[in-house]
């Protein structure tokens, strides 16, 4: 079965303030969608709401993932279904090594509440190590990364690469990448862009949130959407990114009569 996430007339508010106001979008496994929109338009709110962040209140609408309405599910249950969010601002967890964390996470997601793993419910250490090392190598990440504490004292670029490593290890069907390119220098954008493009294939559907077409040079989206004031106002292809690059958001704001 091909995975898909279907968002229907979704309304999300933060601290009583409506941010997402009737959003519709479907992302299928194997598809790449880009979501662009000015600062504060609600891109991260959508991402957090889809993943189940407790601060983001779902006022109405539906999110169907592989036939299941996930809005009542805990974030970990959504992860087990195959949904992944690469955070715009990954949180540091001091004292928890990347490797320990990933082993537990990978075991949880692969077990999907059932069996298939070792006695302690964890995937066997050797198997895990081998896989982690291989993926780190593939993404050009240094071995020492595995022993470092999760996002603790990571540079901006390291945080983003750590998110991509988690994406690679957890093998979701649908991934949301929230500004995985922000704060990166030109070389780092290339590294991250190439890493993500390695992971892309028929098994993975991606929703990339970004401000810059540069990342999209590496990960060519088939679909581009523009979010303005909590709604997707335009959907199209590559040409939309070119238009934004040339003219900014003003013409679209004018067209839909939305103030800055």
Partner 1 sequence: MANSETNTIEELGVSKEYQYGFHDDIKPTFKSRKGLDEEVINQMSDIKGEPDWMRQYRLDAYKIFKQKPMTKWGGDLSQLDFDDIYYYVKASDRSERSWDDVPDDIKKTFDRLGIPEAERKFLAGVGAQYDSEVVYHNIVEELDKIGVVFLDTDTAVKEYPDLVKKYFGSIIPSADNQFAALNSAAWSGGSFVYVPPGVKVEYPLQAYFRINSENMGQFERTLIIADEGSQVHYVEGCTAPTYSSESLHSAVVEIVCMKGSRVRYTTIQNWANNVYNLVTKRAFAYEDAQMEWVDGNLGSKLTMKYPSVYMMEPGARGDILSIAFASKGQHQDAGAKVYHCAPHTTSQITSKSISKDGGRSSYRGWVDVAKGAKGCKSHVVCDALILDKDSRSDTYPVIEIGENDTNIEHEARVSKIGEEQLFYLMSRGLSEEEASTMIVNGFIEPLVKELPMEYAVEMNRLIQLQMEGSVG
Q: Which residues here bind Mg ion, judged by CB under 5 A?
A: 43-44, 88
Among residues 229, 259, 258, 225, the alpha carbon closest in space to that of 244 is found at 225
Q: Which stretch binds partner 1 (CB under 8 A): 20-28, 96-104, 123-131, 233-241?
A: 96-104
Question: Under the criterion CB under 8 A, does residue 156 sit at the interface with partner 1?
Answer: no
Q: Which stretch binds partner 1 (CB under 8 A): 49-57, 129-137, 140-148, 189-197?
A: 49-57
Q: Give Cβ neighbours of residue 236 (< 8 Å, ≥ 6 apart).
A: 223, 224
Question: Under the criterion CB under 8 A, does residue 250 sit at the interface with partner 1?
Answer: no
Question: Under the criterion CB under 8 A, does residue 170 sit at the interface with partner 1?
Answer: yes
Q: Which stretch binds partner 1 (CB under 8 A): 22-30, 74-82, 178-186, 229-237?
A: 74-82
Query: By C-beta, is 57 or 171 nearer to ligand ATP?
Result: 57
Q: Is 45 helix (H, G, I), strand (E, B) or coil?
A: helix
- Per the listing, tokens 């994406």 go with 167
Q: Is 248 helix (H, G, I), strand (E, B) or coil?
A: coil
Among residues 238, 158, 225, the alpha carbon closest in space to that of 195 is found at 158
Among residues 23, 21, 24, 28, the alpha carbon closest in space to that of 5 is found at 28
Judged by the rule CB under 8 A, the positions of this chain that interact with partner 1 are 51-55, 74-76, 78-80, 84-85, 87, 90-91, 93-96, 100-101, 104-106, 108-109, 149-150, 166, 170
């Amino acid at each position: 079965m091909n995975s898909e996430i279907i968002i229907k007339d979704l309304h999300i508010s933060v601290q009583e303030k409506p941010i997402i106001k009737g959003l519709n979008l479907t992302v299928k496994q194997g598809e790449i969608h880009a979501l662009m929109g000015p600062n504060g338009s609600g891109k991260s709110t959508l991402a957090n709401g889809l993943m189940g962040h407790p601060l983001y209140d779902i006022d109405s609408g539906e999110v169907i993932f592989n036939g299941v309405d996930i809005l009542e599910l805990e974030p970990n249950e959504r992860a087990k279904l195959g949904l992944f969010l690469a955070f715009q601002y990954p949180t540091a967890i001091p004292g928890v090594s990347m490797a320990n964390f990933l082993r537990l996470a990978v075991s949880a997601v692969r077990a999907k509440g059932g069996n298939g793993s070792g006695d302690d419910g964890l995937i066997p250490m050797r198997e895990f190590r081998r896989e982690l090392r291989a993926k780190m190598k593939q993404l050009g990440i240094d071995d020492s990364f595995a022993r470092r504490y999760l996002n603790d004292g990571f540079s901006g670029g390291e945080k983003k690469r750590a998110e991509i490593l988690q994406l690679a290890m957890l093998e979701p069907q649908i991934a949301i990448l929230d500004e995985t390119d922000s704060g990166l220098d030109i070389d780092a954008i290339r590294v991250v862009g190439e890493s993500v493009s390695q992971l892309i294939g028929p098994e993975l559907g991606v929703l990339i949130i970004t401000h810059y077409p540069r990342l999209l040079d590496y990960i060519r989206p088939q679909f581009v959407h523009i979010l303005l004031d909590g709604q997707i106002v335009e959907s199209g292809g590559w040409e939309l990114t070119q238009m934004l690059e040339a003219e900014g958001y003003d013409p679209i704001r004018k067209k839909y009569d939305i103030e800055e």
